[in-house]
Structure 1
Amino acid sequence: MPYLKLRDGAELFYKDWGNPKGKIVTFSHGWPLSSDNFENQMVFLADKGYRVIGHDRRGHGRSTQTWEGNNMDTFVDDLKELFEHLDIKDAVMVGHSHGGGEVTHFLGKHGTSRVKKAVLIGAVPPLMVKTAANPEGTDKAVFDSFRQAMHKDRAQFFLDVPTGPFFGFNRPNVKTSQGQIQNWWRQGMTTSFKTAYDCIKDFSETDFTSDLKKIDIPVLVLHGDDDQVVPIEASGLKSAKLLPQGKLKVYPGGSHAIHNIDVDEVNNDLISFLQS
């Protein structure tokens, strides 16, 4: 399995699938998961001749569990090293949830010289937490409860999230998937406790507003209007307006994990955007 040794000695795990000479699409996963969460999209595009690259952020999945550096600035600097290592050019970046924040901050901090388009799926920008300037956000007490639940029983909390709001399995008359729940739990428990805990603050309190305004490439925003984790009113709707070349598609009744639940529709939207 390929690893990149980073500037501080940490090792970043990544997948590099498909046509080595194909057009490149990169994937940034959500909290507290790994690149495995994008396998349906990666296989779909690789089968169509694309080169698909997905990494496990430091502390997540198979990457090194560092004690410090569980923050967006470090994550995007790691990703920049990966782009340079693999000589990634003219890429399309795709990010879900916390990974959508990673894509946004990467483009805001490091620019778009290596990237031609981006896709944000159920992404956290511009800001999740409720503030005076962001009244549509989620109250900080909710994120405090996440931290408390992790300290009390992380394993149970990491079952409760996918069983309920993440996939929307708590809605009436929804077909649930025990496999999806167990796969989420598997990925979450592989991530270090410290990283998962620190990243609650990172995904909820990082303000990506200035990053969004800087992005000078086309960005497709995909968001479910029944996203219980990252409500569309505080995220997708605002991001699409802040992005200079933002385009929004709303998934009616869509959960936070539309790429896992509405697989065919998301894949078709991705390929259409890539080919446009």
Structure 2
Amino acid sequence: MGYYVKVAPDVRLYVEDVNPRGDKTILFIHGWPLSHKAFEYQFNVLPEKGYRCIGIDTRGFGKSDKPWDGYCLDRMADDVRGVVDALGLCDFILAGHSYGGATAIRYMARHRGHGVSKLALFAAAAPSLTRRPGYPYGMPKEDVTKLVKDTLNDRPQMLRGLKELFFFQNISNALGDWFFDIALPAAGYATAKVAMSFRDESLFSDLGKIGVPTLILHGLHDKVCYPELAVAQKEGISDAKLVWFEYSGHSLFYEERDKFNSELMKFIEG
């Protein structure tokens, strides 16, 4: 079922709550520029195994409200806290993809892991998606700046181009259309501002504040969040396990979805 949660005086987030009576709860945070629908191939399987799957559309994306501002990691983490408190969640697994993974990490640091028993990171945009002094492993900042410019000039065309950037395996035209349709309802300014956030913000100081078991899933062919980011996460988080996906790019939750779902369930039950 779907409903709205108020996280600020003028902002409501859409929440999809699948199998609310499940034994264990996983709270999913999607990546840029998508929505909770990106996790369709998890929501098809995990509830049948007894899990409650909650997907948030972050502000500016999917069915959520689209305010002009608030597109930074602190505000996104605070929005997640608003959902957690509104639903009374405790002892849950927090899971995030790409910028959603960065948001999850900031939540753990900023809100001291409130209610979280385990953390799962999927191709997370941390500790920095872009290169910076002393950290040569991310995308060039100018590449992200181009995404911002393309978003503000011709967002549909920019979104079409993400198919080649996000997927390593060949996917059908129909699946590419599905991916495009997930991203299209976002506000253009939200899409641009979140890209500026992952271009400019970093989480180097956040990783060491994570005190729960953490699973890192990452595609070896990721052209958005390079594999070196996963290594840095493993080194920076005290209790972390890294699992590589040999046949995936940035969209490992689809490209190797059976392995993805299996690894996530093993982690939760372990």
TM-score, normalised via structure 1 length: 0.94
Find the residue that maps to 1:20 and give its secondary structure.
Answer: coil
What's 1:211 paired with?
206
Q: Does 1:269 align with 2:263?
A: yes
* Separation in structure 2 between the aligned mates of residue 103 and residue 254 of structure 1, nearest angstrom: 22
The answer as to whether partners of 2:130 and 2:139 remain within 8 angstroms in 1 is yes
The answer as to whether partners of 2:77 and 2:107 remain within 8 angstroms in 1 is yes
Shift of residue 253 of structure 1? 3.5
Single out whichever of 16-25 and 71-80 deviates more from structure 2.
16-25
What's 2:79 paired with?
78
Find the residue that maps to 1:69 and give its secondary structure.
Answer: coil
Q: Residue type of the partner of 1:213?
A: G
The answer as to whether partners of 1:220 and 1:246 remain within 8 angstroms in 2 is yes
Q: Does 1:118 align with 2:119?
A: yes
Shift of residue 141 of structure 1? 0.9
* Separation in structure 2 between the aligned mates of residue 91 and residue 35 of structure 1, nearest angstrom: 17
Q: Residue type of the partner of 1:275?
A: E
Deviations 1:60-92 (A, max 9, x none): 000001001111111111110110111100001
The answer as to whether partners of 2:127 and 2:204 remain within 8 angstroms in 1 is yes
Single out whichever of 119-128 and 137-146 deviates more from structure 2.
137-146
Q: Residue type of the partner of 1:216?
A: G
Single out whichever of 110-119 and 59-68 deviates more from structure 2.
110-119
* Separation in structure 2 between the aligned mates of residue 54 and residue 104 of structure 1, nearest angstrom: 17
* Separation in structure 1 between the aligned mates of residue 230 and residue 205 of structure 2, nearest angstrom: 15
The answer as to whether partners of 1:124 and 1:204 remain within 8 angstroms in 2 is no
Find the residue that maps to 2:206 and give its secondary structure.
Answer: helix
* Separation in structure 1 between the aligned mates of residue 29 and residue 199 of structure 2, nearest angstrom: 17
Find the residue that maps to 2:205 and give its secondary structure.
Answer: helix
Cα RMSD between the aligned structures? Answer: 1.2
Q: Does 1:230 align with 2:213?
A: no
Identical aligned residues as a percent: 28
- Match runs of 1:70-149 below 5 Å: 70-149=71-150
* Separation in structure 1 between the aligned mates of residue 254 and residue 112 of structure 2, nearest angstrom: 29
The answer as to whether partners of 1:19 and 1:49 remain within 8 angstroms in 2 is no
TM-score, normalised via structure 2 length: 0.96
What's 1:167 paired with?
167
* Separation in structure 2 between the aligned mates of residue 119 and residue 21 of structure 1, nearest angstrom: 18
Shift of residue 19 of structure 1? 4.2
* Separation in structure 2 between the aligned mates of residue 97 and residue 267 of structure 1, nearest angstrom: 17
* Separation in structure 2 between the aligned mates of residue 249 and residue 209 of structure 1, nearest angstrom: 21
What's 2:50 paired with?
49
Shift of residue 153 of structure 1? 1.3
What's 1:67 paired with?
68
Structure 2 residues not aligned, in runs of 5+? none
What's 1:202 paired with?
197
Moved over 6 A (4+): none
Shift of residue 187 of structure 1? 1.7
* Separation in structure 2 between the aligned mates of residue 2 and residue 200 of structure 1, nearest angstrom: 27
Structure 1 residues not aligned, in runs of 5+? 169-173
The answer as to whether partners of 1:19 and 1:46 remain within 8 angstroms in 2 is no
* Separation in structure 2 between the aligned mates of residue 113 and residue 224 of structure 1, nearest angstrom: 29
* Separation in structure 2 between the aligned mates of residue 69 and residue 11 of structure 1, nearest angstrom: 13
What's 1:9 paired with?
10
The answer as to whether partners of 1:90 and 1:114 remain within 8 angstroms in 2 is yes
Shift of residue 179 of structure 1? 2.5
Find the residue that maps to 1:190 and give its secondary structure.
Answer: coil
What's 1:249 paired with?
243
